[in-house]
Amino acid sequence: MAKKGQAVQLQIEVANDEEWDKLLQKDGLIIVDVYSEWCGPCLGMQANLKKIKLEVGGDMLLLAVAKSDGITSLQRFRNKSEPTWMFVSKGKMINLMFGADAPKLTRLILDELKKEQSEQAGQPTDRMPLEITEMAEEEKVRFEVAESKEKESQAKEDTKKAKELLERRTKECANIVTNLPNYGAALIFPSAKDKYKEILGEILDEAGLDIYQTEKVQFNEDIINEMCYFTDISKEFTEESLEELYNDESLMLLFKESARTEIEDIDDTILNMIYGAIRKPPGTKESIAQKLITEEEQEQETQTEEKDKVKKESGNVGIWVPPDASVRATVLRMFFPKVSGDFTIPEPAPEPEHLTIIFPLNKKDEALQVMHQYPDEIMKHGLFTSENYEDTTLVARNFKQLDKLVPSERT
């Protein structure tokens, strides 16, 4: 018992691993208010806790506040705003409670004090101690719920972004196709770079096309994925052809309708020029596509009928042509921006870095005053059921909407 005039320490403050380890070595039941520095401990419950200690707990009950930011064992509680109460005995966690429910916390403390007395008297209890770093059952449930919500939210966000991207690219392709109806493209594989001019030269005049521009391209998976946004990559390229594209530099050709001709359908014209009458890979026997296949591949192709069959089903080595107008427009956008740039749609500006700041409703007037002062700095605001972002629900998107709610819908 403290001497007369000497202050009694009702609450221990711990902020680092050393102080935390010392706290765990103490006897009795320890109630720890675990908090994050940005939020602070639960001040509203302290008077009630100190009353329980003085009237019921005595020396058997210890009260502590622990700043999780500097305590390794409590790192999972960092950046949380919800009051968290950890019950500790003999260096182990024997209970955990979330929230500022004073009656519930009081009941738990009284119940755990009885168990503490029983254990000190050598009597068994139903306690199931856990290591401080282990999750209690309620934590596990909360974690699973939060993870599920996070996945659901992320899925919705991904779906929204995918829809917006599809709409933007579809509109962009339509712009390019409409405004550049007489431009087409073809990809020359590394193995065909040395001979494509000679072979193409034989038929370009006949098709009414000129090579308007040539670009060197070093492909990677991301570029291929973007180029094939409107088509199935596996239908356009074999694994072997992709490996060739990734390992060496390729050429992308931009075709333009020659001044002396008029072409109705640029896609059909180029597909016919490259692949022949079938207008798709691997092309007819006398097509440019077949002529650009390397001699080594042609030898392998003719070794057996089965290999010839496989080659014709999957091979398009040597040259590749966009299969339709959308893919052609994508190629023009990606590799020939000087030609297509005026008809593309700029990427949306990235979302700026931002903070979420939470105020209790009784601070509404102060918050509104600042919001009115800096309207351009406020991205969004709303009113929610709780400050705990993991399980909160939107009540109203603004204060006007809140005022229109009936009393039963307000919280």
Query: Cβ(381)–Cβ(363) under 8 Å?
Result: no
Nearest Cα residue to 13 out of 53, 67, 59, 49: 67
> What pLDDT, in 10s, does the model give residues 240-252?
999 999 999 999 9
Closest Cα partner for 390 from 139, 158, 46, 39?
Answer: 139
Each residue's pLDDT tens digit, 182-207 = 999 999 999 999 999 999 987 898 89
Q: Which two tokens stand for residue 410?
A: 């307000």
Spatial separation of the C-alpha atoms in residues 296 and 278, rounded to whole Å: 24
For the chain, 411 residues long, give each residue's pLDDT as a single digit of tens: 444 444 446 789 999 999 999 999 999 999 999 998 878 888 888 888 888 988 888 889 999 999 999 999 999 998 887 899 999 999 999 999 998 889 999 999 999 999 999 999 999 999 999 999 999 998 999 889 888 988 998 999 999 999 999 999 999 999 999 999 999 999 999 999 999 999 998 789 889 999 999 999 999 999 999 999 999 999 999 999 999 999 999 999 999 998 877 888 999 999 999 999 998 888 898 889 898 885 444 444 444 444 444 444 444 479 999 999 999 999 999 999 999 999 999 988 888 899 888 888 888 889 889 989 999 899 889 999 887 776 788 888 888 888 888 777 666
Long-range pairs for 120-127: beta carbons < 8 A, 24 or more residues apart: 120/60, 127/89, 127/94
Place of tokens 């765990």: 24
Q: What is the pLDDT of residue 32?
A: 95
Tokens standing for 163? 């829809």
Residue 352 in 3-state DSSP?
coil
Contact 192, 294 (CB under 8 A): yes
| pLDDT number for residue 409 | 67
Contact at 8 Å (CB) between 400 and 94? no
Tell how strand 29-35 and strand 61-67 pair up. Answer: parallel
HSE value, Cβ hemisphere, 13 Å, CA-based, for 403? 4
pLDDT confidence of residue 1? 41
Where is 84: in which H helix or E strand?
strand 84-89
Contacts of 211 (CB under 8 A, 6+ apart): 200, 204, 253, 254, 255
Kindly report the length of the chain.
411
CB 254 within 8 A of CB 214: yes
Non-local (6+) Cβ contacts of 38 within 8 A are: 79
Phi and psi, residue 251, nearest 5°:
-120, 140
List the beta bridge partners of residue 252. 187, 215
Per-residue buried b or exposed e for 184-202, using 16+ beta carbons within 10 Å of the residue's own CB: bbbbbbebbeeebeeebee
CB 293 within 8 A of CB 301: yes
Q: Are 184 and 190 in contact (CB under 8 A)?
A: no
Q: What is the pLDDT of residues 64-115, one digit of tens each?
A: 999 999 999 999 998 887 899 999 999 999 999 998 889 999 999 999 999 9
| Adjacent-strand bridge partners of 403 | none
3-state SS, residue 319: strand
pTM score above 0.85? no
Return the pLDDT at 9.
Answer: 62
Greatest pairwise CA separation for the chain in angstroms? 111
- Is 59:113 a contact under the CB 8 Å cutoff? no
Structure tokens at 164: 């917006």
Tokens of 102: 């004073």
Token couple for 143: 């974690």
| Under 8 Å between Cβ of 82 and 26 | no
